[in-house]
């Protein structure tokens, strides 16, 4: 488990992270979202004691990262996948990391195979594509078989097949009871991967909730109804306590209610309708509404 309590980071007069508190729990994938410059990478660096907080603290399973014995066995991190020595092979890079934490050669072979680099592990990393470099970074994060994983933009450079593979991998690791925090700017992928969201902007917490609850609250999902009797339908819906709006072409929109409930009401009141359709908004729409359209 990762506990962030009152975390702050200032660079001179600039506030990068501002009194941020949240908990990343095991057994689920937590998506870490925010616009560019929101403070996501700074927060993850402070989790790993790469940056010193101006205030607050982070605890990983109750301890500071710097106090962990053989940290690769406790926390796996992917922050900058290309931070490798280009003259070393992928296998040599992982062997060097493994020796610093008392990890055996068998584990090096296992993670190379796990990330799809078993046949290219002998190649120097300076010749790796962005996708291959990303897979090597994931191998390093998995090297100690850690119970906690921090992955910053892990799908960068992966082709569609690789993205599907990574999604299954991350969800599988969480299902094993690990604590998994993933940041990404790809909203469609987060909608398929994460179960819980922590959303920040300008270094401050905006939301800490499940994906479903986040979309329901901020995306504006609604039911669209086409009818020759809009005034009568409006009266029926409002009398049932349903918030009603009007869409393009005179279509009635019912908010905060499902299509089945609307169908029951129009049938019970004899209102003629030509079409009823539920519009479920996306995670991206919810994110844009909450953050005021700031880009990720």
Kindly report the backbone phi and psi dihedral angles of residue 264, in degrees, each rounded to the nearest multiple of 5, phi listed first: -65, -40
Of all residues in the chain, what percent carry a pLDDT higher than 70? 97
Return mean pLDDT, the chain.
Answer: 90
CATH topology of domain 2-216: Rossmann fold (3.40.50)
For the chain, the residue count is: 296
- pTM for the whole structure: 0.81
Tell me the two tokens of residue 191: 């909608």
Closest CA to 3 of 62, 90, 69, 46: 62
Chosen CATH of 222-279 out of 2.60.40, 1.25.40, 3.30.70, 1.10.3210: 3.30.70
Q: Order across the sheet with 222-226: list the strands.
A: 243-246, 252-255, 222-226, 275-279
In the structure, what pLDDT confidence band is assigned to residue 285 with cuts at 50, 70 and 90? confident
Closest CA to 65 of 122, 150, 131: 150
Asked if the model's pLDDT at residue 295 lies above 60, the reply is no
Q: Order across the sheet with 2-11: list the strands.
A: 14-24, 2-11, 55-60
**3-class DSSP assignment, residue 208:** strand
- 197-215 pLDDT per residue, tens: 999 999 999 999 998 888 8
Alpha carbon separation from 170 to 151, 209, 214 (Å, rounded): 10, 19, 21
**3-class DSSP assignment, residue 35:** coil
In the structure, what pLDDT confidence band is assigned to residue 294 with cuts at 50, 70 and 90? low
Tell me the two tokens of residue 167: 């999604």
Q: Are 282 and 249 in contact (CB under 8 A)?
A: no
In the chain, CATH 3.30.70 sits at 222-279
What residues form DSSP beta bridges with 15?
10
Q: Are 285 and 219 in contact (CB under 8 A)?
A: yes
Of all residues in the chain, what percent carry a pLDDT higher than 90? 65
Alpha carbon separation from 10 to 17, 19, 20, 39, 70 (Å, rounded): 7, 11, 13, 11, 30
How far, in Å, CA of 4 to CA of 172, rounded?
24
In the structure, what pLDDT confidence band is assigned to residue 125 with cuts at 50, 70 and 90? confident
In the chain, CATH 3.40.50.300 sits at 2-216
Minimum mean pLDDT range among 3-17, 37-51, 97-111, 253-267: 253-267
CB atoms within 10 A of CB 222: 24
């Amino acid at each position: 488990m990762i506990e962030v309590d009152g975390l702050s980071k200032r660079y001179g007069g600039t506030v990068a992270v501002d009194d941020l508190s949240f908990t990343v729990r095991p057994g689920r994938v937590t998506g870490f979202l925010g616009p560019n410059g929101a403070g996501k990478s700074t927060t993850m660096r402070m989790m790993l004691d790469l940056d010193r907080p101006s205030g607050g603290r982070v605890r990983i399973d109750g301890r500071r990262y710097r106090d962990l014995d053989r940290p690769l066995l406790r926390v796996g991190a992917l922050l900058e996948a290309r931070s490798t020595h280009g003259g070393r092979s992928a296998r040599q890079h992982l062997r060097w990391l493994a020796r610093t934490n008392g990890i055996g050669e068998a584990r090096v072979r296992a993670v190379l195979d796990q990330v799809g680099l078993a046949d290219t592990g002998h190649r120097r990393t300076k010749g790796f594509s962005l996708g291959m470099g990303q897979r090597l970074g994931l191998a390093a994060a998995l090297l100690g078989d850690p119970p906690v994983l921090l992955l910053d933009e892990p799908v960068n450079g992966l082709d569609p097949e690789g993205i599907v593979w990574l999604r299954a991998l991350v969800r599988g690791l969480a299902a094993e009871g690990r604590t998994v925090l993933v940041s990404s700017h790809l909203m469609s992928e987060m909608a398929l991967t994460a179960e819980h969201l922590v959303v920040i902007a300008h270094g401050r917490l905006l939301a800490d909730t499940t994906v479903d609850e986040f979309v329901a609250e901020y995306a504006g999902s609604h039911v669209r109804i086409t009818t020759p009797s809009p005034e009568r339908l409006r009266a029926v819906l409002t009398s049932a306590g349903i918030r009603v709006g009007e869409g393009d072409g005179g279509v009635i929109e019912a908010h905060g209610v499902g299509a089945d409930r609307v169908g029951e009401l129009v049938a019970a009141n004899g209102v003629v309708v030509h079409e009823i359709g539920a519009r479920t908004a996306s995670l991206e729409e919810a994110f844009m509404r909450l953050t005021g359209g700031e880009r990720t």
